[in-house]
């Protein structure tokens, strides 16, 4: 029996077109819009990151396909509107990559000059000015209580304007800080960042004390907690550590250790809901000790 021919990108585009064809397509797919598909796009990007973190290449293969499907889906809906096609998406990103890598694809002089410091940001800034035509772009209605897209009358948009509002808050904090640091609004070393963290923790503690019994739902406490998290993101930036990846690692560690608590309690015929906090803490410390214990090979 002959081996079935491998499917191609053109096959995937044809499948999506068929799914979105009125009368013969899939009812669910036909109902979807950019807004309803967007959450799936975000979810698939996170699943790609999870597959990378897990080191499972077969899983990564699967998740990359799911993420590619999202691009094909959005491009198909745009084509139906007459806005652009998948080919336009490919053309736009290819041209952008060529333009942003003059040290690889540019003239002989540009290639000889190499990748000078800050070249990526300079090219991006030039692209923004070209798109905006150096005109003031007002903030969209209802966009951002932080006003990051607003400028003074007659001025262009803020340098923070290109940090998407839809990013996870921790990632957005990091990107906002990076943008501000580009114009010198930054601490030169980690020491003042740590000082600021201690200051914000003190303010959070003060707000909790002042809030008394209602502190768990107090707006002032929520604001101070946000300040602490913002400084944590800044500390991660100075340490050159991705805070999202760091937190994902902590989450995975918590899941792993709590699962061990469940195993240890199950061996004693108990469940977490039946155990006391002291018993669970004892099992937690045992789980930690097991992880730190060096693995011995069979000799």
- With a pLDDT cut of 90, the percent of the chain lying above it is 59
More confident position, 191 or 156: 191
Residue 161 lies in a domain: no
Q: How far is CA 280 from the centre of its chain?
A: 33
Burial of 236 per CB tally in 10 Å (0-12, 13-18, 19+) = buried
Contacts of residue 98, defined as CB under 8 A and 6 or more positions apart, other chains included, come to: 105
For residue 86, tell me if it sits in a domain: yes
- Domain boundary pick from 79, 99, 119: 99
**Measured between alpha carbons, how far is 260 from 268 in angstroms, rounded to an integer?**
13
Number of helices followed by number of strands (H, E) in the chain: 13, 0
Domain that holds residue 276: 246-292
Residue 224 resides in a domain: no
Neighbours of 81 (CB within 10 A): 9
Among 65, 99, 133, residue at a domain's last position: 99
Would you say residue 68 lies in a domain? yes
Residue 263 CB contacts under 8 Å (≥ 6 apart), including other chains: none
**Is 265 part of a structural domain of the chain?**
yes
54-97 pLDDT per residue, tens:
889 999 999 999 999 999 999 999 999 999 999 999 999 999 99
* Contact (Cβ atoms closer than 8 angstroms) between residue 157 and residue 136: yes
Q: Is 26 left (phi over 0), alpha (psi -120 to 50) or beta?
A: beta
Asked whether residue 115 is domain-assigned, the answer is: no
Residue 194 lies in a domain: no
CATH number reported for the structural domain that contains residue 85 in this entry: 1.10.287.1080
Q: Does 177 fall in a domain?
A: no
| pLDDT tens-digit series, residues 244-255 | 889 988 998 999
DSSP assignment of 42-98 equals HHHHHHHHHHHHHT-HHHHHHHHHHHHHHHHHHHHHHHHHTS--HHHHHHHHHHHHH
Look at residues 75, 99, 123 and tell me which one is the last residue of a structural domain. 99
Q: How far apart are CA 226 and CA 172, in angstroms?
A: 13
Number of domains in the chain: 2
Model pLDDT, residue 156: 59
Q: pLDDT digit string (tens) for 126-153?
A: 776 666 654 444 444 334 444 444 444 4
pLDDT digits (tens, 9 = 90+) for 7-32: 999 999 999 999 999 999 999 999 99
């Amino acid at each position: 029996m002959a081996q079935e021919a491998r499917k191609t990108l053109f096959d995937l585009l044809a499948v999506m077109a068929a799914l979105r064809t009125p009368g013969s397509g899939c009812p669910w797919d036909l109902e979807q819009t950019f807004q309803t598909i967007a959450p799936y796009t975000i979810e698939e990007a996170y699943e790609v990151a999870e597959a990378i973190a897990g080191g499972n290449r077969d899983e990564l293969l699967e998740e990359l396909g799911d993420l590619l499907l999202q691009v094909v889906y959005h491009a198909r809906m745009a084509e139906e509107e007459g806005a652009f096609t998948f080919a336009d998406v490919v053309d736009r990103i290819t041209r952008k990559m060529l333009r942003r890598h003059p040290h690889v694809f540019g003239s002989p002089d540009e290639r000889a000059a190499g990748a000078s410091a800050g070249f990526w940001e300079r090219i991006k800034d030039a692209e923004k000015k070209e798109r905006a035509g150096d005109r003031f772009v007002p903030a969209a209605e209802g966009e951002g209580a932080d006003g990051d897209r607003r400028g003074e009358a007659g001025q262009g948009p803020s340098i923070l304007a290109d940090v998407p509002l839809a990013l996870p808050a921790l990632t957005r904090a990091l990107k906002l800080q990076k943008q501000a640091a580009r114009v010198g609004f930054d601490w030169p070393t980690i020491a003042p960042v740590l000082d600021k963290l201690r200051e914000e923790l003190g303010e959070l503690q003060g707000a909790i004390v002042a809030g008394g019994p209602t502190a768990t739902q107090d707006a002032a406490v929520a604001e101070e907690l946000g300040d602490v998290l913002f400084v944590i993101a800044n500390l991660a930036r100075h340490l050159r550590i991705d805070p999202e990846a760091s937190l994902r690692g902590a989450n995975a560690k918590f899941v792993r250790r709590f699962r061990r608590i469940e195993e240890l309690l199950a061996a004693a015929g108990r469940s977490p809901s039946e155990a006391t906090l002291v018993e669970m803490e004892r099992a937690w410390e045992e789980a930690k000790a097991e992880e730190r214990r060096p693995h011995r090979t069979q000799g």
